Amino acid sequence: MVKTSPEDLLRLRHSAAHILAQAVLDLFPGTKLAIGPAIKDGFYYDFERDAPFTEEDLARLETRMKEIIAEKQEFSQRPISKDEARHYFENRKEPYKLEILEGLEEGQITLVQNGPFTDLCRGNHIHHTGEVGGVKLLSIAGAYWRGSERNKMLQRIYGTAFFNAKELEEHLHRLEEAKKRDHRKLGRQLDLFSFHQEAPGMPFYHPKGMRVYENLVSFWREEHEKEGYQLIKTPQLLKDDLWKQSGHYDHYRENMFFSHIEDEGSYAVKPMNCPGSTLVFRTDQRSYRQLPLRLAELGLVHRRERSGVLHGLFRVNAFTIDDAHIFCTEDQIEQEISRCIALILRIYRTFGFEEIHIGLSTRPQDSMGSDEVWNKAISGLKAALENNKIAYEVHEGGGAFYGPKIDFEITDSIGREWQCGTIQLDFQMPERFGLEYVDSGNQFKRPVMVHRAVFGSVERFYGILVEHYGGAFPLWLAPAQVRLLTISEKQKEYGVAVAARLRAEGLRVEEDFSPEKIGYKIRSAELQKLPFIFVLGDKEMASGQVAVRRHGGRDLGPQALETVIETMKDEIRHKQ
C-alpha cells in the first residue's frame, strides 16, 4: 500500500536524511555531521568538510544511498545518558553533535541506528531503509551553523524521497516545470520588473509589469467596492510610540525599520497597516448604525529580511498588503467572517485556483490577552467555518500575537501550494487603542476588529500568478492583449487603422510593422506570450479582416475585425 500522508512522508524523509549522512561518511570519511531534518517536499543534511561537494559527488552519494536502501537496514532507537552520549561523540570527533547534546536534558536523549550508522536523534523513522521507493539529491548550498552569520559556513545537501518511483518522477517533473516558470526569469524575459542592489529586496516595476499590477489591483478594488468596503490610505512613517501601543514594538521590532528625527524622536516605517486603521476609526464618535465599518487599504509596508532569504517577489523588504480592517459588534462576527470567506474564494477562483485548503490557527506562545478573549475569538472563527460547511484543519499555535486566524492555501497549475489570504479576529487592538461605539442603549461599547487580506502581499501574489500562468497571463490581465504584425510595408497604413480601432475599444495593443520576416515576428510575439497575434497581409487588408493567432501557436484563421473585437471583449468581461 502506498503511504502518502504528510506524517508518513515526514518519517520517510527524516529517514532519508540519515541515509544521506551514512553515505557521506562512507564516501568521505572525516566529514563532520550537523543536522538533517525533513522539510516541506524533502530533506537536507548539513556537513562540515574542507573540500566543497560537487555535482559529481551528488551522483556518487545518490548511488550509495540506493545501495543502502537495497540493504533494508532496520532503524532502531535506544535511550542513552548524557555522559554516554558525550563520550560517544567525543570519540567520533563530532563537535556539532556535542553542541546539540549540551542543550538537551537528561532522560530525553536517544540514538537512532540503521546498519553501521548511528545519529543523535529523537526518532520518528520508517521501519527499514527499503521503504524508500525513490530518492533524489537535488542541490548543494551554504548554510551557517544554527542560522547565525557569526558561525561557520557549512555545506547543505538537499534531497527528496518518496515511497514509490512514480511519485518521485511526478515531483521531479513539477520541479522542472517550476524552473521554466521561475518568475524571476520570466520577469526579465517579459520586461515586467527588476531588482537592484541600490534597494535590496524592493521591486522596480517596468511599464509592462506596472500594467499587470494595475490590472490586478483594479480588479481588487472593484470586488471590494461591491462588498461595501471604503478605501483609505495611511502614512508609511509613524512615531514608534504607536507601535509600542499596538504591541508590534514588543513582538516584531527586529523586523522593523526605524528612523530618528532630531527634536522629534523616533519613528518607524510601518510593517503593517492595522494601527493606522484604528486611528481612522477613532477620528469620529461611531454609532452602532455605522457598523460594520469596512475599511480597505492597499498599504505599502517595509519589513527587514536578511539578504540570504530575499527571493524575487516572494520574499522582499517592501511590499503592498491588500488589507482590510472591519470594525463590528460581537453579534456581527460570524456574518462578517462569512462574507470575507466568500469574497476570498470568489477572487481566487477568478484566477483559476480551484483547490483551496483552509486552516484555523490558534493562540501562539508569544501573544497578548486573556484566555477568555482568545477562546471567544477562536469560537467566532470556528462558527463561521462550520456554519458555512467549510472543511478546515486546526494549526495549533499558528495565530498572530493579537488573535487567531483563518489561513487560505491555494494550489497552482503545477500542484504547488501557497499560503496567501488570511482572516484574523482581534479583540486586543480595539482595547489597546480605546476604540468605542455607541450602542442602541446609548452605552459605549468596544468594537471587534477583523484583519483580512486576500492576496496577502500583492507582490508575492503577482509572483505566484507569473508562475501559475507561466507568464501567459489571461487576456484581461495581460500587459498587452494583442500584437499587430504586417507582412510587408504595404500593410502599414492598414495596421495603423486597425490599432486605432482596437484602442478605441479599450484594448491594449502593440505593433510590429518592422521589415523583418513574418516568421521571425511571430516567434518574437510568441516569446512575449501575448494572448492574441493579428497578422495583416494583402488579403486581410483587401477584406477588412485580420488573421488571428492565439498564444501557443493556435491559428484561428482570418476573421472580421469587429467579430474578433467582440470575442476579446466578451473574454475580458468574463475574466476567462
The CATH number covering residue 31 comes to 3.30.980.10
Instruction: Give the C-alpha separation, 157 to 20, whole Å.
Output: 9
Chain-centroid distance of CA 511 in Å reads 35
- The answer to whether position 122 is within a domain reads yes
Instruction: Give the C-alpha separation, 64 to 42, whole Å.
Output: 18
Q: What are phi and psi of 564, to 5 degrees?
A: -70, -30
Q: Which tops the pLDDT comparison, 185 or 6? A: 185
- The answer to whether position 473 is within a domain reads no
Label residue 344 exposed, middle or buried (CB < 10 Å: 0-12, 13-18, 19+). Answer: buried
Q: Residue 500: name the closest of 513, 509, 489 by CA.
A: 509
Q: Is 145 left (phi over 0), alpha (psi -120 to 50) or beta?
A: beta
Q: Residue 466: name the closest of 201, 264, 188, 259 by CA.
A: 188
The residue from 116, 146, 180 where one domain ends is: 180
Q: Residues 353, 274: one domain?
A: yes
> Worst-scoring range by mean pLDDT, 169-173, 313-317, 372-376?
372-376
Beta-strand runs (E) in 303-447? 318-328, 356-361, 393-395, 405-411, 417-426, 437-438, 444-445
Tell me what pLDDT residue 225 has. Answer: 95
Q: What are phi and psi of 266, to 5 degrees?
A: -95, 140
Residue 29 Cα distances to 80, 97, 118, 144, 398, angstroms? 25, 16, 14, 22, 41
Query: What is the Cα Rg of the chain in Å?
Result: 29
Label residue 142 exposed, middle or buried (CB < 10 Å: 0-12, 13-18, 19+). Answer: exposed
- The answer to whether position 472 is within a domain reads no
**What are 561's three cell numbers?**
475585425
> Worst-scoring range by mean pLDDT, 96-100, 145-149, 414-418?
145-149
Does the pLDDT at position 262 exceed 50? yes
Q: Residues 355, 458: one domain?
A: yes
- The answer to whether position 393 is within a domain reads yes
Q: Residues 316, 247: one domain?
A: yes
Label the pairing between strands 448-457 and 509-512. unpaired
Does the pLDDT at position 307 exceed 80? no
Q: Residues 451, 493: one domain?
A: no
Helix (H) or strand (E) holding 72: none
- The answer to whether position 354 is within a domain reads yes
Q: Residues 432, 291: one domain?
A: yes
* Helix (H/G/I), strand (E/B), else coil: 232: coil
Q: Which tops the pLDDT comparison, 524 or 267? A: 524
Residue 349 Cα distances to 166, 342, 344, 463, 575, angstroms? 30, 11, 9, 17, 10
- The answer to whether position 274 is within a domain reads yes
Does the pLDDT at position 2 exceed 70? no
Instruction: Give the C-alpha separation, 363 to 427, whole Å.
Output: 13
The residue from 408, 435, 464 where one domain ends is: 464
> Worst-scoring range by mean pLDDT, 250-264, 443-457, 468-482, 515-529?
250-264
**What are 391's three cell numbers?**
472543511
Tell me what pLDDT residue 414 has. Answer: 85
pTM of the predicted protein model? 0.81
For the segment 378-412, what is each residue's pLDDT rounded down to a tens digit?
888 988 899 889 999 888 888 877 788 999 999 99
For the segment 112-126, what is each residue's pLDDT rounded down to a tens digit?
999 999 999 998 999
417: which strand partners?
Answer: 411
The residue from 137, 154, 180 where one domain ends is: 180
Mean pLDDT (whole number) for 465-476: 96
- The answer to whether position 490 is within a domain reads yes
Tell me what pLDDT residue 1 has. Answer: 39
Does the pLDDT at position 5 exceed 90? no
Range of the domain at 85: 6-180
The interaxial angle of helices 492-504 and 561-573, nearest 10 deg, is: 40
**What are 239's three cell numbers?**
512615531
Residue 268 banded pLDDT, cuts 50, 70, 90 = confident
Q: Residues 380, 309: one domain?
A: yes
Q: Residues 137, 45: one domain?
A: yes
Tell me what pLDDT residue 3 has. Answer: 45
Q: Scan for cell 470556528, then name that residue.
A: 382
Does the pLDDT at position 508 exceed 80? yes
Q: Residues 18, 153: one domain?
A: yes
Answer yes or no: are the C-beta atoms of 465 and 473 closer than 8 Å: yes
Q: Residues 455, 498: one domain?
A: no
Q: Residues 451, 492: one domain?
A: no
Q: What is the CATH number of the domain that holds 539?
A: 3.40.50.800
Number of separate domains in the chain: 3
Q: Residues 492, 455: one domain?
A: no
Q: What is the CATH number of the domain that holds 245?
A: 3.30.930.10
**What are 299's three cell numbers?**
498599504
Residue 441 DSSP label: T
For the segment 24-33, what is each residue's pLDDT rounded down to a tens digit?
999 999 999 9
Q: Residues 404, 518: one domain?
A: no
